[in-house]
C-alpha cells in the first residue's frame, strides 16, 4: 500500500482514509460472499444439528451427481449423527477447500491426506461430486468403509444433469458471472467444478459434461458404464446399490442402524436449481454492471451540476 510521506511521517488523514477504504472493501466482500452463498444454497437445507463427529468416516458415496445425493447427504447425517460431505461443502468452503480438490484432480492426494481431510475434520460420510469421483482412492484410505452407489433411470439422469449442473456451468462462464466470481474469490471453485465436469474420471473415457453435450444416448451409456465399473470395483459385501425412492429401510439395514422416526428427506429438484442459477446471474449483472452504471450516472449528473 502506497502512502504519501512528509518529513518521514505518514499523514494521519491519508492513513485514516486508507484504513476506511480497506474496511469498506472487506465489508463489501463479506456482503457479496454471503449473498452468493445464499443464492447457491437456498433450497439445499439440511438439519442444522448435523455437526462434526470424530467417530470415523464410514460411508463412501460412489453415485454420480443428480442421483439423489443431496437427500443422501441429509439422510446419512441423520443416521450417522454427523456431517456428510457434498458438493455444497466445497462451494460454501474457503479457497483451501477448492485447492484440495484441485490437487486431487492432479492425482496428488495421499491416503493420509484423504483421512485428514475427511475423518480428521469430523465428516462421517461423503456423497456427490467431487468426492464420489474418487471413490477408488477413498476405498484405499478407508478400507473398512461401506460404499453406497446411488442410481436412477439413466434416461431421466441425462435431462436432470443437462437442466441443472450443466446449465449452471454455462452460466458461470458468462462475463458478468465470471467477473462476480473474481470479486468474491471463487474463481478456483468455478474452475474445479468445470474440471470435474469435463475431465474423465478414473476408468472412464470422457467427462460428464462431454457426454451431456453429445446427447442422451452417449449420456445413458456413460451412466450405465459408471454403474458397472463401481460394481466391478467394490466387493459385494461392502456395496449397496440404492435409489432414494426406496426410503430408509434398505439404507438402515445396510448400515445396521435403526430406522428414524422422520420422513426420508427429498431435496433439490431441478426447478429449484434453475431458480438459483437465474438468481446468480441476476445478482452478478446487478453488481458487475448495474451498480457501476448507476454510480456513473450519478457522478455524471453531479459533475454537470457543479460545473455549470
Report yes or no on 37 lying in a domain: no
Domain tally, the chain: 1
Bridge partners (DSSP) listed for residue 146 = 59
Which CATH number belongs to the domain containing residue 210 in this structure?
A: 3.40.50.300
Residue 183 is placed in which grid cell? 470479486
Alpha-carbon distance 100 to 209, whole Å?
A: 22
Please tell me the predicted confidence (pLDDT) of residue 5: 46
Q: Which domain holds residue 106?
A: 59-266
Alpha-carbon distance 133 to 107, whole Å?
A: 12
- Find the helix packing angle between 69-80 and 248-255, rounded to 10°: 50
Bridge partners (DSSP) listed for residue 85 = 126
- The closest of 99, 103, 165, 107 to 136, measured between CA atoms, is 107
Please tell me the predicted confidence (pLDDT) of residue 264: 96
Give, for all 308 residues of the chain, the pLDDT tens digit: 444 445 554 455 544 555 554 554 555 555 555 555 555 555 445 455 578 999 999 999 999 999 999 999 999 999 999 999 999 899 888 889 999 999 999 999 999 999 999 999 999 999 999 999 999 999 999 999 999 999 999 999 999 999 989 988 888 888 888 788 777 788 899 999 999 999 999 999 999 999 999 999 999 999 999 999 999 999 999 999 999 999 999 999 999 999 999 999 988 766 666 677 677 767 767 776 666 666 666 665 666 666 76
User: Is residue 192 a contact partner of residue 102, using CB atoms and an 8 Å limit?
Assistant: yes
Please tell me the predicted confidence (pLDDT) of residue 104: 97
Element (H, E) at 174: none
Element (H, E) at 59: strand 59-61
- The closest of 28, 19, 86, 95 to 59, measured between CA atoms, is 86
Report yes or no on 306 lying in a domain: no
Residue 221 is placed in which grid cell? 451409456
Neighbours of 270 (CB within 10 A): 16
Cα-Cα-Cα-Cα torsion 36, 40, 46, 50, nearest 10 degrees, comes to -40
Cα-Cα-Cα-Cα torsion 230, 169, 130, 83, nearest 10 degrees, comes to -120
CA angle 78, 259, 115 (to 5 degrees): 40
Alpha-carbon distance 204 to 212, whole Å?
A: 14
Report yes or no on 149 lying in a domain: yes
For 95, phi and psi rounded to 5 degrees?
A: -55, -30
Report yes or no on 5 lying in a domain: no
Bridge partners (DSSP) listed for residue 126 = 60, 85
Report yes or no on 285 lying in a domain: no
Full-prediction pTM beyond 0.95?
no
Report yes or no on 29 lying in a domain: no
Give the CA count within 13 Å in the CB-facing half-sphere of 277.
17
Alpha-carbon distance 18 to 238, whole Å?
A: 59
User: Is residue 57 a contact partner of residue 142, using CB atoms and an 8 Å limit?
Assistant: yes
Report yes or no on 192 lying in a domain: yes
Alpha-carbon distance 130 to 259, whole Å?
A: 28
Kindly list the distances between the CA atom of residue 120 and the CA atoms of 56, 91, 97, 113, 115, in Å, as whole numbers in the listed order.
Answer: 8, 20, 14, 9, 6
Report yes or no on 107 lying in a domain: yes
Amino acid at each position: 500500500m502506497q502512502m504519501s510521506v512528509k518529513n518521514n511521517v505518514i499523514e494521519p488523514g491519508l492513513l485514516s482514509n486508507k484504513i476506511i477504504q480497506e474496511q469498506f472493501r472487506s465489508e463489501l466482500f463479506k456482503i457479496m460472499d454471503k449473498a452468493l452463498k445464499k443464492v447457491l444454497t437456498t433450497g439445499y437445507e439440511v438439519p442444522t444439528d448435523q455437526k462434526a463427529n470424530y467417530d470415523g468416516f464410514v460411508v463412501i458415496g460412489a453415485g454420480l451427481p443428480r442421483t439423489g445425493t443431496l437427500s443422501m447427504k441429509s439422510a446419512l447425517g441423520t443416521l450417522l449423527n454427523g456431517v456428510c460431505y457434498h458438493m455444497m461443502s466445497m462451494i460454501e468452503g474457503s479457497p483451501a477447500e477448492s485447492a484440495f480438490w484441485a490437487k486431487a484432480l492432479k492425482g496428488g492426494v495421499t491416503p493420509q491426506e484423504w483421512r485428514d481431510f475427511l475423518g480428521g475434520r469430523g465428516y462421517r460420510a461423503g456423497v456427490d461430486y467431487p468426492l464420489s469421483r474418487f471413490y477408488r482412492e477413498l476405498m484405499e484410505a478407508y478400507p473398512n468403509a461401506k460404499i453406497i452407489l446411488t442410481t436412477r433411470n439413466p434416461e431421466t439422469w441425462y435431462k436432470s444433469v443437462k437442466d441443472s449442473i450443466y446449465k449452471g456451468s454455462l452460466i458461470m462462464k458468462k462475463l458478468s458471472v465470471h467477473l462476480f466470481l473474481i470479486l468474491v474469490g471463487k474463481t478456483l471453485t468455478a474452475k474445479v467444478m468445470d474440471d470435474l465436469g469435463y475431465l474423465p474420471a478414473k476408468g472412464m473415457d470422457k467427462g460428464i459434461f462431454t457426454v451431456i453435450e453429445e446427447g442422451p444416448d452417449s449420456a445413458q451409456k456413460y451412466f450405465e458404464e459408471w454403474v458397472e465399473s463401481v460394481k466391478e470395483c467394490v466387493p459385494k459385501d461392502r456395496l449397496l446399490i440404492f435409489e432414494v425412492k426406496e426410503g430408509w429401510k434398505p439404507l438402515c439395514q445396510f448400515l445396521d442402524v435403526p430406522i428414524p422416526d422422520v420422513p426420508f428427506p427429498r431435496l433439490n429438484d431441478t426447478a429449484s436449481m434453475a431458480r438459483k442459477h437465474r438468481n446468480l446471474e441476476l445478482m452478478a449483472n446487478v453488481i458487475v454492471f448495474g451498480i457501476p452504471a448507476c454510480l456513473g450516472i450519478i457522478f455524471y449528473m453531479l459533475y454537470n451540476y457543479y460545473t455549470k
